Amino acid sequence: DAMVIQNPRYQVTQFGKPVTLSCSQTLNHNVMYWYQQKSSQAPKLLFHYYDKDFNNEADTPDNFQSRRPNTSFCFLDIRSPGLGDAAMYLCATSRGGRGLGTYGYTFGSGTRLTVV
Amino acid sequence: AQSVTQLGSHVSVSEGALVLLRCNYSSSVPPYLFWYVQYPNQGLQLLLKYTSAATLVKGINGFEAEFKKSETSFHLTKPSAHMSDAAEYFCAVSSASGGSYIPTFGRGTSLIVHP
């Protein structure tokens, strides 16, 4: 089945040690999103790719970076994780372009990041 | 600008009772509206969506929602709750912004179902 896959499901990293979360999709969607979700809160958009165009949210810390080497893969890099970065990180995809916002968004199962 | 307000961070119902989860939105352009469900340690799963067709939208698992433009609401209902419906529910609005449709999520409502 076409889907969005996030690896790993659970990630433990040390304070200040760079970590990379990955997302892959078989839907051939041209838009990919990264969300941060802290406990009992709504998902917060960090950034998204529209094809190869990177769109950063204004309040996303510089500590968070992303790469999209091809349509299928997208990575979230946290350069120096702090205790406040512990959260669930969700990847989502959608079809982009005018008139295509109706399709909704397909989410992966998320990666729960713990910082020790 | 767009925003979503979900009234009530927790809703508690008995099994078999009506489920009503409230969502109000604001959007400067005609919106697309969504309800998502999230089970513990899982991603978000689409329940249903409103895309300017019928105002009463039927989704999966017996849920439905009605778009009321005059009230700027998109409340989620289910006639009879099941224990398996216990989860976090998120309402989201999406509207065009420079060719992209970026969803904005509400804070979520936790549905608790009592036996």
> What mean pLDDT, rounded, does chain A reach?
90
Q: What is the rounded CA–CA span in Å between residue A46 and residue A8? A: 19
Average pLDDT on B37-62 reads: 88
Read off the tokens for A93. 């995809």
pLDDT-derived band of residue B94, with 50, 70 and 90 as boundaries? confident
Give percent of chain B above pLDDT 90. Answer: 63
Q: What is the pLDDT of residues A13-63, one digit of tens each?
A: 999 999 999 999 999 988 899 999 998 888 999 998 988 989 888 899 999
Closest Cα of chain A to B11: distance in Å?
A: 14
pLDDT at B82 over 50: yes
Contact at CB, A98 and B99, closer than 8 angstroms: yes
Nearest CA in chain B to A43: B105
pLDDT-derived band of residue A102, with 50, 70 and 90 as boundaries? low
What pLDDT is attached to residue B100?
Answer: 60
Closest Cα of chain B to A47: distance in Å?
A: 10
pLDDT at A107 over 80: yes
Average pLDDT on B3-19 reads: 94
Q: Strands A19-25 and A44-50, how do they pair?
A: unpaired
**Contact present, B75 and B50 (Cβ < 8 Å):** no
Contact at CB, B43 and A101, closer than 8 angstroms: no
What pLDDT is attached to residue B61?
Answer: 93
Nearest CA in chain B to A102: B51
What pLDDT is attached to residue A99?
Answer: 45
Nearest to B100 among A96, A109, A112 (CB): A96
Q: What is the rounded CA–CA span in Å between residue B74 and residue A84? A: 33
pLDDT at B99 over 60: no
pLDDT at B21 over 90: yes
Read off the tokens for A54. 């990177």
Highest mean pLDDT among A88-97, B35-44, B52-61, B81-90: B81-90
**Contact present, B78 and B18 (Cβ < 8 Å):** yes
Nearest to A98 among B49, B96, B103 (CB): B96
Read off the tokens for B58. 């039927």
Q: CB distance from B49 to chain A under 8 Å?
A: yes
Q: What is the rounded CA–CA span in Å between residue A43 and residue B100? A: 18
